[in-house]
Amino acid sequence: MQQTTSVTAGTGRGLQGVTCTAPDTEFWFPGASTGADRTDYVHLTNPDDSAAVVDIELYGKDGALETVVGEGITVQPHSTEPVLLSTLTEEKQTDVTVHVVVRSGRIGAAVQALDAGLGGDWLAASADPAGSLVLPGIPKDATAVRLVAFAPGDTDADLKVRLASPSGLITPAGHETLHVKGGMTAAVDLGDITRGEAGSLVLTSTDGSVPVVAAVRVLRGKGDAQESAFIPAARPVGTRATSAGNTAEGTTLSVTAPEGTAEVEVTASAGTEGGTPASQTYTIKSGTTQNIEIPVPDGLKGTYALTVEPRSDTPVYASRTLTATENGVPAFTVQPLPDDRGTVAVPEAEEDLTVLQK
What is the Cα–Cα distance from 355 to 358, expressed in whole angstroms? 5
Q: Are 252 and 129 in contact (CB under 8 A)?
A: no
Per-residue pLDDT of the chain (358 residues; tens, 9 = 90+): 889 999 888 888 999 999 988 999 999 999 999 999 999 999 999 999 999 999 999 999 999 999 888 899 999 999 999 999 999 999 999 999 999 999 999 999 999 999 999 999 999 999 999 999 999 999 999 999 999 999 998 999 999 999 999 999 999 988 999 999 999 999 999 999 999 999 999 999 987 779 999 999 999 999 889 999 999 999 999 999 999 999 888 999 999 999 999 999 999 999 998 889 999 999 999 999 999 988 888 888 999 999 999 999 999 999 999 999 888 889 999 999 998 888 777 888 888 877 777 6
- List, in order, residues 6 or more apart from 249 with CB less than 8 Å away: none
Q: Give me the residue spans of the domains in the chain.
A: 241-336
Q: Are 164 and 199 in contact (CB under 8 A)?
A: yes
Q: Which fold has domain 241-336?
A: Hypothetical Protein Tm1070; Chain: A (2.60.290)
**Beta strand 79-84 with 317-326: parallel, antiparallel or unpaired?**
unpaired
SS3 label, residue 345: coil
What local confidence, expressed as pLDDT, does residue 351 receive?
83
What local confidence, expressed as pLDDT, does residue 358 receive?
65
**Angstrom distances, CA of residue 351 to CA of 17, 74, 286, 348, 357:** 47, 50, 46, 11, 14
